[in-house]
Structure 1
């Protein structure tokens, strides 16, 4: 393990808030910053160390705020800059840190720079801050290269004067040209703006995408991309991104309080992802390889080992996550994998009881691993993926585009239930509908329905996070233990063991110590424990 001094982020539990779906203070059906402020005590009591907010900047909302028109102000649907400042202050008063999303790969097409670029016309230096090119073909009628958009279709759109601009996502999200010094200067000032306001760090959207291969060469093959499996390409994970992050690290280090940056970096290998968290670069990188790992002992064992090895090599903590705003919730996804499906693809209906049982076991396993854990709002309630949203309700921009990202991300973004027996379950103050419809079955999954109830998923998360802080968190390494087939077992230090039954049948094992917590009902007979299928148990040795 690394001999670097410990810092809060090395074993932190960080809770992702999707602002439009967390809590609505003004009754318009869309969550907002005042709503988040009102629920901060809930997050403190849950036991997390920090919150990460998905974008709340001024935006036309073509991609749920990941198309930013102004990086230094708050979109009115979410509140004001004063609300942001108050939210940070309230969080700090409660002992919570605040991480905000930063979107440096692309802006909105309504960003002032892009409007100036369009007005400037071909040859204008204002276009050099983006990727404008002449088209191919006899009259420039073909895109400049063969790059596809993550969301389907080509990654190029032609403007009225005949030139094309690059957008690896929607046409409303033109990619910045990071070879232009003005782009780098602009984002350094954006970093300082939010650090001066008091935020504790940044989650960097598409951190692997800022720099493109020189000359923007063709990929040279037919390619349909999904966010989870773009692989090697001239569009992503170019070595030049690391110079950018070294300059950002220097800024972060100027500020007190261990301010951090977290990379959303999809790279072909764990070693390539670890490059983003070398000592002079970023602090953490999401471990999407683990998120995509099947619920099987050999797969889990090898991925956990590989993840720890890659990050230990650069002295960085490993991060662990099971769900976020871009993928199918793990209560469904871990069951779908048995059907040969992968993370983020079109969700299907699963047995809700079996799905929740496996999700709880996976979460308790994750909390026992060395490093930092990321939670996605609602998983602590056991929320399933909503698989039956009507087409007219969906707002994922990829939904109506061909190929590429499937367009089914709305199912994990449905607003969470707080109280009551009918929608919107306390999400807003006046009972009006939320921006995405909530299922009728969610009354029993609300915070109020689970609060203080023994055995509820919310109670399990609260108990597990409290135990994690006392007996699991810290630098203690992971040591694998011999176990029967289908059982995953490891120790952290001399006094803690985690045992997971990944089989379809109950298993009877010697009890190695005092039972701390289990993800499901277990039976202890003398010195023997019976662990049901898809169940995780923590022990004090």
Structure 2
């Protein structure tokens, strides 16, 4: 386990929307470099950068055309190396986005794979990449794409997809092949695909990358069992390679199943985010019909049968932390010795939390998730409460996700909110003119930005808040506050609009033998009687 993860706080950057330095309306690597001091001052010491590889951008870069080349709109490989070096000089680690399950249909591997396979003396004459993707031997409806890409592919059959039609699935084999065109995940060609992906990882790690966020990490082996046994076996090989060759490199999975990703597959971290009915949803958007992956219901549909959003952090949600904890605690207990469950403000695939929470609700939400176990992730702009922009036309396959990908809002008084000097019609996406900005919130001590900065500063300086520090729930339940302990710190949370009176039974609270470290709102202590005023949060240290 890389030791640096214990104190890591990640900042996710969607590069095309972060900061444009050359005036073309699209963010670039130089823009990230110029904002590293901002990220460090906020309190983050690690980055997750969404794909910056060469791509036709039919899925915002998740359709990779060349794994080892930076897309020209972001810069060059030399710029990437300079980013790694500059970030490291400032004490910042960098994770790249690895897309192992598919490529673009324009990738050279796929072009080779799509070529017809001649038969000589009854023996198919395959090339190096004929089996790099999953092809049927004949037309089979419902499998995926057709092979006629720009007239370059003339292979019989169709190829299996991994997401959009433009993203053919790489061949990691099947758990239990049933057709002649299916290979076992143990066969040489699927194993070679894994080796090629590890070669991609080595390329960037040798340049200075510190690890990877892995896209669709559970999607490798097809028709895998419920526990993804075969896919996990492949990731174990990757983990063994890292442990041997790059022991300080880290991997975080897009899986949201820590028992599998951490215990079975060997990932160091797993995102706790947006699987229908899980604890994250119960905190941030607890409506009856939870959104399916990448589908965000419109506002009037975001209700349960009682006609309101009962998310824990909603001031009028009238709920407690039990629904969240009943999901989270078993997962935490089963995986705490294997890796970290990672809380996120949101990411590029989900609606920004401002869609359901107001500023005060966000302050309490962030203060809570940044003091829970694991490694936290902040999505760019969430620290100032950037909005999810409704009904934006889709951009690069974003569809309903597009509203969470608008440009960073640096300065309300600058052109395009400080994101780019380009004319507005050239911007990657329109900026939210008049929305919150970094510059305005930095000078406002009560702003969301400064709450985030204060909490992260406390996290950085308190051993009790490191990723693997002990965690114990002290109080939960209807009409009770959510109170938990991290080492010598105790955190009290009341996100609701009603005061909560609580008779303390923890010795430090009951005796008054503590000091306040930080608070939002007001909490009154009088012996064992505690009143958590509406929308309050407090960190105390037992003496």
Alignment TM-score, normalising by the size of structure 2? 0.79
Q: Does the 8 Å CA contact 1:11/1:317 hold for their aligned counterparts?
A: no
Give the counterpart of 1:207 among 196, 217, 240.
Answer: 217
Cα displacement (A) at 1:121:
5.1
Q: Which has more radius of gyration?
A: 2
Cα displacement (A) at 1:291:
3.0
Alpha-carbon deviations, 1:34-89, whole Å to 9, x = none?
Answer: 00000000011111121111100000001000000101110000100000000000
Q: 2:231 maps to which residue?
A: 241
Structure 2 CA distance for aligned equivalents of residues 243 and 480 of structure 1 = 34
1:68-467 correspondence runs (5 A): 68-120=64-116, 125=126, 126-135=129-138, 140=139, 142-144=141-143, 155-157=144-146, 159=148, 163-179=157-173, 180=189, 181-213=191-223, 234=224, 238-255=228-245, 258-267=248-257, 270-276=258-264, 281-288=266-273, 289-294=278-283, 295=312, 296=319, 297-312=321-336, 314-332=337-355, 335=356, 355-389=358-392, 391=393, 394-397=394-397, 407-421=399-413, 424-430=416-422, 432=424, 434-442=427-435, 445-467=436-458
**Cα distance change on mapping 1:414 and 1:72 into 2, 3 Å:** same
1:488 and 2:482 correspond: yes
Give the counterpart of 1:470 among 461, 466, 480.
Answer: 461
Q: Does the 8 Å CA contact 1:100/1:203 hold for their aligned counterparts?
A: yes
Alpha-carbon deviations, 1:107-158, whole Å to 9, x = none?
Answer: 01000011112233586634311011145xxxx46234xxxxxxxxxx4446
Cα displacement (A) at 1:274:
3.4
Structure 1 CA distance for aligned equivalents of residues 470 and 523 of structure 2 = 29
Structure 2 CA distance for aligned equivalents of residues 236 and 201 of structure 1 = 27
Structure 1 CA distance for aligned equivalents of residues 141 and 81 of structure 2 = 47
**Cα distance change on mapping 1:208 and 1:359 into 2, 3 Å:** same
Structure 2 CA distance for aligned equivalents of residues 535 and 111 of structure 1 = 52
Alpha-carbon deviations, 1:319-363, whole Å to 9, x = none?
Answer: 22230111111222xx3xxxxxxxxxxxxxxxxxx5222222111
**Mean CA deviation greater in 458-467 or 289-298:** 289-298
Q: Does the 8 Å CA contact 1:207/1:263 hold for their aligned counterparts?
A: yes
- Residue ranges of structure 2 left out of the alignment (5+ in a row): 119-123, 149-153, 174-188, 284-311, 313-318
**Cα distance change on mapping 1:45 and 1:529 into 2, 3 Å:** farther
Q: Does the 8 Å CA contact 1:293/1:303 hold for their aligned counterparts?
A: no
SS, match of residue 539 in structure 2: strand
Q: Does the 8 Å CA contact 2:267/2:339 hold for their aligned counterparts?
A: no
Structure 2 CA distance for aligned equivalents of residues 51 and 487 of structure 1 = 34
SS, match of residue 358 in structure 2: helix
**Cα distance change on mapping 1:529 and 1:39 into 2, 3 Å:** farther
Alpha-carbon deviations, 1:13-48, whole Å to 9, x = none?
Answer: 111111111111111111110000000000111111
Structure 2 CA distance for aligned equivalents of residues 263 and 185 of structure 1 = 19
Alpha-carbon deviations, 1:153-208, whole Å to 9, x = none?
Answer: xx444646652111121111101001323312211211111111011111111110
Alpha-carbon deviations, 1:390-413, whole Å to 9, x = none?
Answer: x3xx21526xxxxxxxx3101111
**Cα distance change on mapping 1:182 and 1:304 into 2, 3 Å:** closer
Cα displacement (A) at 1:293:
2.8
Q: Does the 8 Å CA contact 2:136/2:159 hold for their aligned counterparts?
A: yes
**Mean CA deviation greater in 281-290 or 42-51:** 281-290
SS, match of residue 128 in structure 1: coil
Alignment TM-score, normalising by the size of structure 1? 0.79
**Cα distance change on mapping 1:273 and 1:191 into 2, 3 Å:** closer
Structure 2 CA distance for aligned equivalents of residues 536 and 328 of structure 1 = 25
SS, match of residue 292 in structure 1: helix
**Mean CA deviation greater in 189-198 or 496-505:** 496-505
- Residue ranges of structure 1 left out of the alignment (5+ in a row): 145-154, 214-233, 336-353, 399-406
Report the RMSD for the aligned CA atoms in angstroms.
Answer: 2.6
Structure 1 CA distance for aligned equivalents of residues 117 and 535 of structure 2 = 60
Q: 1:501 maps to which residue?
A: 494
**Cα distance change on mapping 1:505 and 1:247 into 2, 3 Å:** same
**Mean CA deviation greater in 117-126 or 203-212:** 117-126
**Mean CA deviation greater in 507-516 or 182-191:** 507-516
Alpha-carbon deviations, 1:452-498, whole Å to 9, x = none?
Answer: 421111111111001012223234311222367242111112x3111
Q: Does the 8 Å CA contact 1:325/1:409 hold for their aligned counterparts?
A: yes
In the alignment of these two chains, the number of paired residues is 462
Cα displacement (A) at 1:430:
4.7
**Cα distance change on mapping 1:157 and 1:500 into 2, 3 Å:** farther
